[in-house]
Structure 1
Amino acid sequence: MKKSIILAALTLFIGCTNNKSETAKNTSTGTKEITLEEIWDGTFSAERMNALNSMNGDFYSLLNRDENGNTSVDKYSYSTLEKVETIVSSADLKDLDGFSSYTFNDDETKLILGTQFKKIFRRSFSGTFYAYDVASKKLSLIGKDIQEPLFSPDNKKVAYAKGNNIYIKDFSKNSLIQVTKDGKKNSIINGITDWVYEEEFGFVRAFEWSKNSRYLAFLRFDESDVPTFSMDIVGKELYPDQQVFKYPKAGEKNADVTLHMYTLTNRTTKKISLGDYEYIPRIKWSNNDAILIATTLNRYQNNLKLHKVNALRSSSTVLLNETDKAYIDITDNLTFLTDNSFIWTSERDGFNHIYHYDFNGNLINQITKGDWEVTNYYGFNPTKKTIYYQSVENGSTNRGVYSIGLDGQNKKLLSNKVGQNSAAFSTNLNYFINTFSTSEIPPIYSLYSAEGEMLKVVKDNAELKEQLADYKMSPKEFSTININGNDLNMWMIKPVDFDKNKAYPMLMFQYSGPGSQQVANRWNGTNDYWHNMLAQKGMIVVCIDGRGTGLKGADFKKVTQKELGKFEVEDQIAAAKKLAERSYIDKDNIGIWGWSFGGFMSTNALLKGSDIFSTAIAVAPVTSWRFYDTVYTERYMQTPQENASGYDENSPINYADKLEGNYLLVHGTGDDNVHVQNSMRMINALIEANKQFDMFIVPDRTHGIYKGANTRLNLYTKMTNFVEEHLIEKSNKTTEIKG
């Protein structure tokens, strides 16, 4: 089944880097200064390609909107990039004013059109969906306020979820089957994931059709005993609404998740036994009509099993069992070949690589090898027996697109060697659209053949680059810094008029979460423009990816196991002290900031590194991993019952009495991810320690703190004023006194 257009096939990379040395001179000749208003009104936004959906053959489709507001699904040729036909337009649909998503069935004879969406959580939403027949141009209502409609492979039926139950609409018989009947809010969920699966395992639809359309496999979540979390939503009415949902915090009860198989011929459902497990993070049908592959994990997430589930016998056997001393990441890379051998990615040799197994779970060969990471798997072309993937084999700050034979031979770089390269392949893997950027080159979208021949530039953002030439833009200077025995990737932004004989205040920015990366050779995001704006005001901004971050192998990433916030904080503190030895850094005015995990880090850094950090901003921070969800937290920390010291010795709440500097704490009260409870507990600890601090509580905003007019502008104005007052102005006064 094709992915809906709302799941973008292309991603705009954000960030910024270059390969200049620390002493490189800025070549910018612009005089205009960046303003916060420009950052948040889209002045610096790069043009993007519409999210394309690869079709059968050498074609793709786009969702377009005309000047009259009509939406259409249009078909294009990969070879020419020209429009071939309009498949459907809302202008021709009497019963539908417009639609904002579409999904094809397998043979592209029908579409599901979606409208009137209502957001639930980060990835989930309900909506009104219609089935559209391309040949007859007939439009049929599937349902209102439903979730995740999915065509059966025989094109006769659509399965969907509503009210925590699963339904099947059979268009051939004009009938509706209710597969489950026990669904109940905050109790039983059928076919849709609970909050923690959606957030941490990254999927919403938990049902899949068999290839012969005879079976529907689905997950059932019994969250009756999962503790409930509630948030007041202030809104605009006289009384607040209360949002109540099940949220398993670290060490608490998870939903009981079970696998079930519905047989359409006799309308029966059977529960499938998978042995001992805690999670079922993926289900996927093999190329055998009766064999489903179910992935299970134990609670520590370091013991993964692939189960061969026989739908005919309602039984299962273990296909593959992989273990790790720390944890195993879940991906969507499992790919079955015509003989049911399969492609699998794993860190089993210390780096993420591609492997080939037979259908008995025996290793055929390791396809990619080396002290570098495969960062994306794009697919397998059976005709050419070729695999396409993305990796960092040209340096951990770069990403390239490659092809390689199934036998591990004939590896070829298909894209640019440096910068960020990301491919959106055609279904038959004959073409791909490459998105390329560096710290100095805005995103360029180009059409490539699968052999790596660049055929045509689609969009180059030349106007944006020309526009930015008028501004005081400082380049990111890339280097490494040796901290605690490791060469850590680093970028630095200096003022355009940088004077090596002057001492500048420094602000460090980081995220630092497991497997993350902030130091990458890619184009600007909004934070990069903000950092440049601060540089205009006379500040040096630095970012360092310390231990625990990604793309340098499993050992580097997993060293933080059971100690989130220990080594990461040590690296930021040590880096600040080492940088402070440079003559152009004002060692008395060094700050640090971050969001989410980065907020947790910046808070800890200020408290534990008070001898070097004078200022910190923490946005939506975790302040104790005891407050965060089971799946994410226990993957790295085990449970609080088993690892109390790991939780408490790295919680900033327990070090509130060490606050000596300037601290700004920001949180949205509608954050369903990192609950405002984290900041409230931090505030209480600071009050009890009689410490003064600044806080900015934003009503009803979620984890991103962006919804509503001027929300981000207001937030960044607050942060800018805080940085100016406590770092820039203070540093200037110190310089004047010394002068």
Structure 2
Amino acid sequence: MTRIFKVTTLFLLVGASVFAQKKVTVDEIYTGAFRTKGMDELSSMKKTNQYTVLNLDRNSRRSQIDLYDFATLKKVATVLDTKDHKELQSIDSYSFDASEKKILIATNSNPIYRHSFTADFYLFDIASKQLSKVLEAAQEPTFSPDGTKIAYGKENNLFIYDIASKTSKQITSDGKKNAVINGITDWVYEEEFAFVRAFDWSADSKKVAFIRFDETDVPEFTMTVFHKELYPKEEKFKYPKAGEKNAIVSLHLYDVASAATKNVNLGNYSDFYIARLKWTNDANILSAQVLNRHQSNLDLIFVDGNSGAAKVVLNEKDKAYVDVTDNLTFLKDNSFIWTSENDGFNHIYVYDKSGKLKNQVTKGKWEVTAYYGFDEKNKTIFYQSVENGSINRDVYSIGLDGKNKKRLSSQTGTNNATTFSPNFDFYINSFSSATEPTVFTLRESKSGKEVQKIADNVALTDKLKAYELPTKEFFVLKTGKGQELNAWMIKPKNFDASKKYPVFMYQYSGPGSQEVGNHWLSANDYWFMMLSQQGYITVCVDGRGTGFKGAAFKKVTQNNLGKFEVEDQIDAAKVIGSYPYVDKTRIGIFGWSYGGFMSSNCILKGADTFKMAIAVAPVTNWRFYDSVYTERYLTTPQENASGYDENSPINFVSNLKGKFLLIHGTADDNVHVQNSMQMIEALVQANKQFDMAIYPDKNHGIYGGKTRIQLFNKMTDYILQNL
């Protein structure tokens, strides 16, 4: 489960007099009037000290891939311009082969689920400027390391396209919808393990490793699609709910020359996940990360590419769960870099090629939040962390031996190294804070010194002056039970401490999440500021279970999702209600997805604290949600029935006193509308009055056309009328 409510940062157009406070409107927020300058589809080259950017002309729909020099930031050339190739209507994404002489371009993309999509793909030869269509409605095409072939998925099977002969060869033939998938993940892997491409090329281009998903026995979910048809249609897809059967996964090696496929025996596992697949720098050694169903035991396995023999080189155990990341990095000698919460905080470790620990690179009671890469020449690792406070992010460098650590960023807020030059001499840093919109700068990697500014949003800052928006205030809230929680507050600009204000609380609260962060405003922030202009205080509190404060703080909710998180929101509301400028009889709460689960629980379990609640796309009973996410935190319903039932809002509807608005999209493939339908029936049978809004054929994000505008206007009106 991932957050939906966060939206791309935006900028405000100002047309009114600067002498009067201009009012923020929902229409402005959700018609794209708020957009910061950014850098689209930036890709660092590997062969030259350059990078490419996909530049889009939104009016003419013209696209071009431009090449820039890292040292000067000057444009070197236009690699490809769609105006020169009429057959290419647009560029959705692109990738280079290893030689950086060919580009694979995606167009006509059609989304499937959150990350997956099909697209038509064109191959562009940079030297000859020749463009040719090579694939239709394909998934995840990937160049072989030698650049002669492209492996891809289509209709649940794997294929290899030979560039020279312009022909495709089918690797698998048993793929079938809702039965078998080869090389592409199923729904639950895509959503919860966050990857789609379940195949990988060996370093010598001789083999393709892939995962096969047998979904035959996975229960099928049926979703009604209404559209404008006379008779609604039914979409069926495999969705393993908590405690139900998962797809049976298996690992296979395909030899390109012999066209033979070898099955890999990973070991004595049952009911397991292959959460990651990656060839090492040794062309004959494949790595696979295998998790038990509880996700409390992870084995990093090395597989011999010839014999298929498998051995465990690293094992991680946790009383709660082990996080899976993409941070595994193999060095030239096949030793590897790994991140782990072994000491209670997420840190970087180095192991030799046999899996023996060489050293722990980073240490301290703080979290590494991103691993950027390794400079082989200078034996230096680059990473992001919360060493400067859990709501901030900074960029650091450190030696592979754990020495010579340097803070490269200098401003307090959110710093992110978006890309490094191939020689690691430079990096592009994006910085923002709650008071400063995003700025992109080129910096030296050794010192962090700014070389040149690339883009800023000073114009945005000037335009926002007409709105006289308040400042987001960060603080630590201490509950009556002694919990110290990160929080922020947005007060009306004309705040008067002698008055009493209603409070609207926003939260997400899911495991490892964070809403209290020092970064530039997102669409929800603009909405909250709009509410501040109408006399409301908005407060956000990250309770126990959220991230970046250590494993103990994050995993305290294990086997009891919704218990401590709800306690913390209720306790926080009581503290806020004690402030002299707050009307404690007028406190509301809102959330989306996991946040909707929380806001539903808060209005029920905190019936005497909250006057109203809005829940969008909420889980109302974890028995209805998917196996991978739910069992990671609760184990199965068969093992932990009380953990499921004692914190499911559907079981506490009789407590409802305040106003409750329930919102859901009928085409939500993630949190099924079944959750809200069951909640509605429980409320009806408890003879409780409530309000609801159902959005036909809208998914978990509830958007499209005027949908977001109508939705947020509805929620705004509900707040004005009931809080």
Question: What TM-score do the two structures reach when normalised by structure 2?
Answer: 0.95
Report if the CA contact (8 A) 2:22-2:466 is conserved: yes
3-state SS in 1 of match to 2:549: coil
Does structure 1 residue 447 correspond to structure 2 residue 463?
no
Q: Which amino acid aligns with 1:209?
A: W
- Residue in 1 that maps onto 2:679: 682
Range 76-85 or range 607-616, more displaced: 76-85
Give the CA deviation at 1:150: 0.8
Shift of 1:432: 1.3
Q: Aligned in 2, Cα 1:98/1:507: closer, same or farther, shift over 3 Å?
A: closer
Structural mapping, 1:434-583, within 5 Å: 434-451=429-446, 452-483=448-479, 484-583=481-580
Instruction: Output the aligned Cα RMSD.
Output: 1.6
> Which structure's relative contact order is higher, taking Cα pairs within 8 Å and 6+ residues apart?
1
Match of 1:640 among 634, 637, 641: 637
For residues 274 and 444 of structure 2, what CA distance do their matches in structure 1 show?
38
Determine which of 42, 57, 60 is the counterpart of 2:51: 60
Q: 2:105 aligns with which of 106, 113, 118?
A: 113
Letter in 2 for 1:328: V
Q: 1:30 to 1:643 in 2, by over 3 A?
A: farther
In the TM superposition, what are the counterparts of 1:223-372 in structure 2 within 5 Å?
Answer: 223-275=215-267, 276=269, 278-372=272-366
Distance in structure 2 (CA, Å) of the matches to 1:371 and 1:68 = 51
User: Given that residues 10 and 35 in structure 2 are in contact (C-alpha distance below 8 angstroms), is that contact kept between their aligned partners in structure 1?
Assistant: no
Amino-acid identity (%): 56
SS in 2 for 1:470: helix
The amino acid that maps onto 1:232 is T
Task: Give the counterpart of 2:424 among 421, 429, 432.
Answer: 429
Deviation at 1:80, TM superposition (A): 1.3
Query: Distance between the aligned counterparts of 1:196 and 1:50, measured in 2?
Result: 29
Q: Which has the larger displacement, 368-377 or 83-92?
A: 83-92
| Residue of structure 2 aligned with 1:42, choices 32, 37, 42 | 32
Indicate the residue corresponding to 1:8 in structure 2: none
Secondary structure at the aligned position of 1:300 is classed as: coil
User: Residue 355 of structure 2 aligns to which amino acid in structure 1?
Assistant: G
CA contact under 8 A between 2:8 and 2:523: conserved in structure 1? Answer: no
Letter in 2 for 1:59: Q
Distance in 2, matches of 1:454 and 1:285, equals 36
| Structure 1 residue 145 displacement after superposition | 1.0
CA distance in 1, matches of 2:712, 2:125: 48
Aligned residue number for residue 717 of structure 1 = 713
| TM-superposition CA deviations, 1:634-661 (whole Å, max 9, x none) | 0000000000000000000000111110
Distance in 2 separating the partners of 1:98 and 1:649: 51
Q: Distance in 2 between matches of 1:442 and 1:47?
A: 9
DSSP 3-state at the match of 1:421: strand
Aligned residue in 2 for 1:624: 621
Amino acid at match of 1:510: Q
Q: CA contact under 8 A between 1:14 and 1:522: conserved in structure 2?
A: no
* 1:144 correspondence with 2:136: yes
CA distance in 2, matches of 1:44, 1:704: 19
Aligned 8 A contact 1:211 1:287 in 2: yes
Which residue is 1:163 aligned to? 155
- For residues 406 and 190 of structure 1, the distance between their equivalents in structure 2, rounded to whole angstroms, comes to 38
Residues 1:539 and 1:12: Cα distance change in structure 2 (over 3 Å): closer
Once the two structures are superposed, what CA deviation does each residue of 1:167-197 show, in whole Å capped at 9, x if it has no partner?
A: 1111234442110000000000001000000
Query: Residue 3 of structure 2 aligns with which residue?
Result: none
Mind listing any 5+ residue stretches in structure 1 that lack a counterpart?
1-10, 17-27, 728-739
Q: Which 10-residue stretch deviates more, 535-544 or 171-180? A: 171-180
| Matching of residue 51 in structure 1 with residue 41 in structure 2 | yes
Matched, 1:209 2:201: yes
Instruction: After TM superposition, give the deviation of residue 499 of structure 1 in Å.
Output: 1.3
Letter aligned with residue 60 of structure 1: Y
Q: Could you say if the C-alpha distance between residues 509 and 203 of structure 1 is closer, same or farther in structure 2, counting changes exceeding 3 Å? A: same
Counterpart position of 1:180: 172
Contact in 2 for aligned 1:15/1:523 (Cα 8 Å): no
Distance 2:569 2:262 in 1: 53
Matched to 1:84, the amino acid is V
Alpha-carbon spacing, 1:342–1:15, altered in 2? closer, same or farther (3 Å): farther
**What's 1:671 paired with?**
668
Runs of at least 4 residues off by over 6 Å: none
Larger CA deviation: 212-221 vs 274-283: 274-283
Deviation at 1:44, TM superposition (A): 3.0
Following superposition, the deviation at residue 547 of structure 1 comes to 0.2
- Compute the displacement of 1:692 (Å): 0.2
Does structure 2 conserve the Cα–Cα contact (< 8 Å) formed by 1:129 and 1:142?
Answer: yes
Distance 2:632 2:411 in 1: 34
- 2:324 aligned partner, one-letter code: I
How far is 1:30 from its partner? Answer: 6.0
Q: Check conservation: 2:103, 2:125, Cα contact below 8 A.
A: yes
Q: Structure 1 length as normaliser, TM-score?
A: 0.93
Q: Is the 8 A contact 1:71 1:100 kept in 2?
A: no
2:73 aligned partner, one-letter code = L
CA contact (8 A) 1:374 1:390 kept: yes
AA aligned opposite 1:64 = N
Other structure's SS at 1:312 match: coil
* C-alpha displacement of 1:93: 3.1
Whether the 8 Å contact between 1:12 and 1:443 is mirrored in structure 2 is no
Query: 1:378 aligned to 2:372?
Result: yes
Q: 1:97 to 1:542 in 2, by over 3 A?
A: closer
Following the alignment from structure 2 to structure 1, what is the Cα–Cα distance between the partners of residues 141 and 701?
A: 28
- CA change 1:497–1:659 in 2 (3 A) is same
Deviation readout 1:636-695 (Å, 9 max, x if unpaired) = 000000000000000000001111100000001111000100000000000000000000
Cα distance in 2, alignment partners of residues 147 and 676 from structure 1 = 28
| Per-residue deviation, 1:158 | 0.8
Tell me the equivalent position of 2:581.
584
Match of 2:185 among 183, 190, 193: 193
Contact 1:394 1:417 in 2 (8 A): no
1:626–1:15 CA distance, 2 compared to 1 (3 A): farther
Q: How far apart, in 2, do the equivalents of 1:421 and 1:302 lie?
A: 32
Structure 1 residue 212, shift from structure 2 partner: 0.4
Structure 2 counterpart of 1:715, one-letter code = L
Tell whether the 8 Å contact from 1:33 to 1:472 is kept in structure 2 after alignment: no
Alignment of 1:53-132 (within 5 A): 53-56=43-46, 57-65=48-56, 69-93=61-85, 95-132=87-124
- Contact between 1:15 and 1:522, CA under 8 Å: does it hold in 2? no
Instruction: After TM superposition, give the deviation of residue 502 of structure 1 in Å.
Output: 1.1
The one-letter amino acid paired with 1:543 is C
Q: Which residue of 2 aligns with 1:735?
A: none
Q: What is the CA-CA distance between 1:370 and the residue it aligns to?
A: 0.3
Q: Secondary structure at the match of 1:333?
A: coil
Q: Which amino acid aligns with 2:244?
A: E
Task: State the alpha-carbon separation in 2 of the partners of residues 294 and 396 from structure 1.
Answer: 32
Q: How many residues align?
A: 705
Higher mean C-alpha displacement, 253-262 vs 110-119: 110-119
In the alignment, the residues of structure 2 paired with residue 585 and residue 29 of structure 1 have an alpha-carbon distance, to the nearest angstrom, of 30
- Pairwise CA distance, 1:134: 1.9
